Amino acid sequence: MLDYTESPDLLNLRVKLREIMRQTIPSGFLGAFTYDSADLEVAENFCKELGHQRLLAMAWPKEFGGGDASAWEQMVLREEMWANHEPRGAQYMGINWVGPVIMRHGTPEQQQKFLPPISSGEVIWCQGFSEPGAGSDLPALRTAAKKVPGGWTINGQKIWTSYARMAQWCFLLARTGPAGGRKSGITVFLLEMDQQGVEARPVPSMLGNHHLNEVYFTDAFVPDAHVLGEVGDGWTIVSDVLAFERVGIARYARCERLLTEAPQALGESWADVPQSLEVRWAKALVHTRQARLMAYKVVDKQERGVVDPSDVAAYRIAVTTLDQEVAEVLMDLVGQMAVGTEDVSRHFERAVEDHWRYAQASTVSSGTLEMQKQLVARSLVGR
Amino acid sequence: MISQLSTDADELGRYVTDALAGAGGMELLRDALVDPGARVPIEKILAQFGVWELDPHADAAEFEACAAVVRAAGSLALPYPVCERLAGRGAGAGVLLVAHEGTNLAAHADLDLDWTAVDLLGRGYSVARSGSRPMQSTLGSFVSEVDVVAEGRESGGDRRSEAATLMTLQGWWILGLLERCVADTAQYVQEREQFGRRLAAFQAVGFGVADMSIAAQKLEELAKYTVWSQSTNDAGTALVDALTLRAASLESAEVILRGTHQFHGAMGFCDETDVSLLSRASHLVRRLPMGVEQTFQRMTEAVLGQGLDGPFAGIQAVV
């Protein structure tokens, strides 16, 4: 029968995570990617604390530093993190999919080398996928890998690479087959960022510091031991990456939190909110609940071993459009401070402004809205 | 957490769907549009499946079973007040959803049932007069006037549970109707060809059907949660949740029925096409007792007063 009750284990996990955040995250924290390096340090220390308590990679097997947690516990973790401005910073990527993909496709030596630092919160990964000519059309990538004694040299360029300037490792897609080979002839390389031949440059953007970078590879080197899976069979692994990114960021959690806080945050000035905006606020709360339930549908199926990519795509469409809807409602609610404020005591207003900027990428990153719709459409009406 | 209806409820829903198909399917609605008296035997058809022995107020299992039944009924826009009877208390009783004291329009109020009424906030009403025949109206088939008088507190004026139950069941009824529209539209665009191609081959059409499907999926998940809430939460929370389902269902209906009509082209307006009749019948829930914006207004007032449950409802700022 239907049951949406959170078990005592899940409730206790929420309490535990909130307590850890209360102890380690300063008030006013709006994420790791600001221009204040102290925020990055907060995230790094937080990850180490979570890693110490085996909560950072909690869904991983214990042999790799995880907690053997269930998909539901992982969901709670995702919600609590996003609702609190993702204090794990860039490390969620390594936990969510880099590590799981290495578990699935890596050699024992690769697993021993790469997994413990991720689960203990000591390493940041970046994703070397998109290129100027290969965004949604990722198979069009051109960064090339050439075989040399002991390994490969990499030449090319990646773009939009989040966290590239802080990452120690890059999960890189490069072409080992002939140019124009599309999905055939792509290989996954685990590339060390700190080497001659790798240059990461920031791309200033409205999203905030560190979110967008371009990375140039000029005869960068990857040893044979750091090729993941079979040479030329990288697309199989890419498909797994997309599957592991399945539910992704729990955007609805921050939406719910900010919407719920709004009346109290506005205080007396809530009385001046026009009725039409109040209704939009309430509608957004309903849509938030719906997005959360769509996530639960995916997790429920995951727990039962059922994987349906169109379910995931439907959820992603719901939650990314929600993110933007809520962003607009919140910006309207905070009035003139929607353009920002230097008054750090205005935490809610600053959180709203930060949310709006990041929400603009919701329907673009990790598969655009149109790509997701295409997937849903094909499941319904074919090609 | 479990986000699936029970196996028993699912099976009952499939059984009722098959049985109604065997009893005529959409012809039941077509017959009733010609002769409103054709609604009366539907009561006996459903009685054969034990539908009237179900009580959503009894426990969670029966509520889920009722939800599955009304979903099946909605998929045919069955011309009988299934939700209203199931939500009522007692044999032969039915409860109507009204907007206010005085004269309202309500579907099937002319049928010979022991009627009472509730409004969206759970205030109870007795029925002073109900119409003797439905009005002649393309979008208001089976609708008649009903005069209601507010019940005092001493005679049971607080009927939040019945209001919540009725709105939840109507949410499932319209869910069944909308899911049928999505399915029929998906099939139609795969069959209909223009410019040498199936309509489904045009990206705009595929995207539009995707939007319709997602609206239905969002509604389905909310409908399931709301059923669970009715058997789990206090009366106030259950009512707010039922209100949110009602408002969301009307919103989904706009998206899905607009898409249904658009992608069916002129065929979608013709009475020989099922979606035309489903669209017309949808107004019994979409407009009565009030439309989408007024419903959202009521919901907003309830949410401001009661809040809306969730993992971050009422959270004190952690950071």
Chain A residue closest in CA terms to B303: A282
**Between β-strands B124-130 and B114-119, what pairing exists: parallel, antiparallel or unpaired?**
antiparallel
Tens of pLDDT along B180-219? 999 999 999 999 999 999 999 999 999 999 999 999 999 9
Least confident stretch, A53-62, A164-173, B102-111, B180-189: A53-62
A–B: how many Cβ contacts below 8 A? 174
Distance from the Cα of A374 to chain B's closest Cα (Å) equals: 7
- B319 contacts A21? CB cut-off 8 A: yes
Among candidates B6, B186, B221 on the partner chain, residue whose Cβ is nearest the Cβ of A381: B186
Which residue has 């065929």 as its token pair?
Answer: B267
Binned at pLDDT 50, 70 and 90, residue A327 comes out as very high
Which two structure tokens, joined as six digits, stand for A383? 């090609």
Q: Is B228 on the interface with A (CB under 8 A)?
A: yes
A98 DSSP 8-state letter: I
pTM of the model as a whole: 0.95
Please state the rounded mean pLDDT for residues A296-316.
89
Q: How far is CA A142 from CA A215, B86, B272, in A?
A: 14, 63, 55
Q: What DSSP state is assigned to residue B312?
A: T
How would you class A340 by CB atoms within 10 Å of its CB: exposed for 0-12, middle for 13-18, buried for 19 or more? middle
Q: Are B206 and A374 in contact (CB under 8 A)?
A: yes
Measured CA to CA in angstroms, residue A112 lies from A49, A67, A68, A119 at distances of 21, 17, 18, 11
At A120 the three-state DSSP class reads: coil
Cα B258 from Cα B252, distance rounded (Å): 10
**ipTM summary value:** 0.95
pLDDT of residue A245: 67
CA distances from A207 to A203, A233, A331, B64 (A): 10, 34, 16, 45
Confidence of residue B153 (pLDDT cuts 50, 70, 90): low
Three-class secondary structure of residue A167 per DSSP: coil
Q: Which residues of B touch A279 (CB under 8 A)?
A: 293, 296-297, 300
B155 band by pLDDT with thresholds 50, 70 and 90: low
3-state secondary structure at position A276: helix
- Evaluate if residue B317 carries a pLDDT over 60: no
Measured in angstroms, the CA of B86 and the nearest CA of chain A are apart by 20
Provide the pLDDT confidence category of residue B318 given band limits of 50, 70 and 90. Answer: very low
What is the per-residue pLDDT for B158? 81
Which regions of B80-130 does DSSP assign to beta strands (E)?
93-98, 102-107, 114-119, 124-130
pLDDT for the residue numbered B319: 44
Contact B242, B236 (CB under 8 A): no
Nearest C-alpha in B relative to A258:
B312
pLDDT in tens, A241-265: 877 666 778 999 999 999 999 999 9
CA distance A156 to chain B (A): 33
Q: What is the spatial distance between Cα A29 and Cα A347, in angstroms, rounded to a whole number?
A: 9
DSSP B173-234: HHHHHHHHHHHHHHHHHHH-EETTEEGGGSHHHHHHHHHHHHHHHHHHHHHHHHHHHHHHS-
Sign, CA torsion A209/A212/A215/A221: positive
Chain B closest-CA separation from residue A79 CA (Å): 9
A153 vs A127, A149, A219, B165, CA distance in Å? Answer: 18, 10, 5, 66
At residue B81, the pLDDT reads: 97
pLDDT, tens digit, 9 for 90 and up, residues B234-267: 999 999 999 999 999 999 999 999 999 999 999 9
